[in-house]
Homo-oligomer: A and B are copies of this chain.
Amino acid sequence: MGTRLGELVERLGGQLEGDPQLEVAGIAPLSDAGASHISFLSNSKLRAQAAASGAAALIVAPRDDEFVRASYQGARILSPNPYAYFARAAQYFAALTAIVPAPGIDPSASVAADAQVDPSAHVGPHATIESGAVIGAGAVIGAGCFVGRDAAIGPGTELLANVTFHARCRIGARGIIHSGAVIGTDGFGFANEGGVYIKIPQTGRVLMGDDVDIGANTTIDRGALADTVIEDGVKLDNQIQIGHNCRIGAHTAMAGCVGVAGSAVIGKYCTFGGAAMVLGHLTIVDHVHISSGSMVSRSIHEAGQYTGFYPLAKNAEWEKSAAIVRNLDAMRDKIRALEKTIKTLTKPI
């Protein structure tokens, strides 16, 4: 189930230094790679380890090649971004052994008569596909999934088991939606009358571009009147909540447990660490990076890294520092009083 190096380079590019007939069985990290593996050097600090590696072949950046080839005897594939090359090679090896769901609709699925399911798509057991929904070529709808009325799943997109994809929402090509995710749930919108909440119907949609990945148990609200938009290449991890009318810019990535309140507009190429939170109606420009556990309470107009979480300490120490934080006011007043006194003391007579 392996592949020849020549075939790998033909598919993925890179410059091969070695025998194209050499066969490798799989890809492994430097620390584990043996004589049947291809490995990769993505961090120049590990050059010595790479040079001593027992891997059959190595993916190396030109900047590290001179050092590596001085002692390393195996084949080398030169590529400017060995880590990206590794990812593509790993996809290639994974595909060799992957069990691809067969085209067709499981007899236990409930598919509306006027839903359009491409003949090359797979619909798993106990899935429900409502009227007017469109399932693209090669798409996979896992067991127990729900695809609502007039929703559209793009070609090659996969919904793993137990995904809920509500009416009129859309996702483009080559996406992945993991189990338990809910796309197009109602936004949290109410008018208040004498303390009682009156629901505002949420009639917008969720529109997702191509190459979008949505993590397990992540939820994305449909827009209230307009739409919630997830642009191309966005990657959301598990347990994320995206409020109604948000826009997440292309190629932005969010780690697990992030929350984004309604109508936030987030730029392209941003990253959010786990459990970061974004308040509603904010704007965040492109290339902003939010550290884990940080609360974004104001718009961010300048690219860069932002952080805001209370530093961890032994509990007894935290008790002390938290008590002072509560009374920083008093501390500031003391300093002001000191400054005043000293001013008096140092005043020229």
A105 at the binding interface (Cβ < 8 Å): no
CA distance A335 to B188 in the complex (A): 48
Whether B241 lies near A110 (C-beta < 8 A) is no
CA distance A110 to B315 in the complex (A): 51
Whether A182 lies near B180 (C-beta < 8 A) is yes
A198 at the binding interface (Cβ < 8 Å): yes
Whether A307 lies near B311 (C-beta < 8 A) is no
Whether A128 lies near B144 (C-beta < 8 A) is yes
CB neighbours of A305 from chain B (8 A)? 314-315
CB neighbours of A243 from chain B (8 A)? 256
Whether B345 lies near A325 (C-beta < 8 A) is no
Checking B125, B328, B335 against A334 with a beta-carbon cut-off of 8 angstroms, the contacting residue is B335
Whether A110 lies near B106 (C-beta < 8 A) is yes
Number of copies: 3
A221 at the binding interface (Cβ < 8 Å): yes
Checking B108, B146, B268 against A179 with a beta-carbon cut-off of 8 angstroms, the contacting residue is B146
A52 at the binding interface (Cβ < 8 Å): no
A157 at the binding interface (Cβ < 8 Å): no
Chain A residues numbered 22-69 whose CB sits less than 8 Å from any CB in chain B: 28-29, 32
Whether B179 lies near A87 (C-beta < 8 A) is no
Whether B279 lies near A261 (C-beta < 8 A) is no
CA distance A296 to B309 in the complex (A): 10
A172 at the binding interface (Cβ < 8 Å): no
CA distance A29 to B204 in the complex (A): 14
Chain A residues numbered 306-349 whose CB sits less than 8 Å from any CB in chain B: 306-315, 317-329, 331-332, 334-335, 338-339, 341-342, 345-346
CB neighbours of A263 from chain B (8 A)? none
Whether A312 lies near B294 (C-beta < 8 A) is yes
Whether A311 lies near B320 (C-beta < 8 A) is no
A138 at the binding interface (Cβ < 8 Å): no
Whether A144 lies near B166 (C-beta < 8 A) is no
Contact of A328 with B321 at beta-carbon distance under 8 Å, contacts A143-B128, A219-B217, A235-B197 already known: yes
Whether A341 lies near B331 (C-beta < 8 A) is no
CA distance A182 to B182 in the complex (A): 13
A81 at the binding interface (Cβ < 8 Å): yes
Whether B84 lies near A191 (C-beta < 8 A) is yes
CB neighbours of A143 from chain B (8 A)? 110, 128, 146
Q: Show 15 A/B contacts (Cβ-Cβ < 8 Å), sorted by A.
A: A91-B200, A108-B108, A110-B126, A110-B143, A161-B164, A164-B179, A166-B179, A256-B259, A261-B292, A296-B312, A297-B309, A306-B313, A310-B325, A311-B323, A320-B328
| Other A-B pairs, 12, CB within 8 Å; known A161-B164, A308-B311, A308-B318 | A108-B108, A146-B161, A160-B185, A180-B182, A185-B216, A196-B251, A217-B239, A219-B238, A238-B241, A275-B295, A308-B309, A310-B310
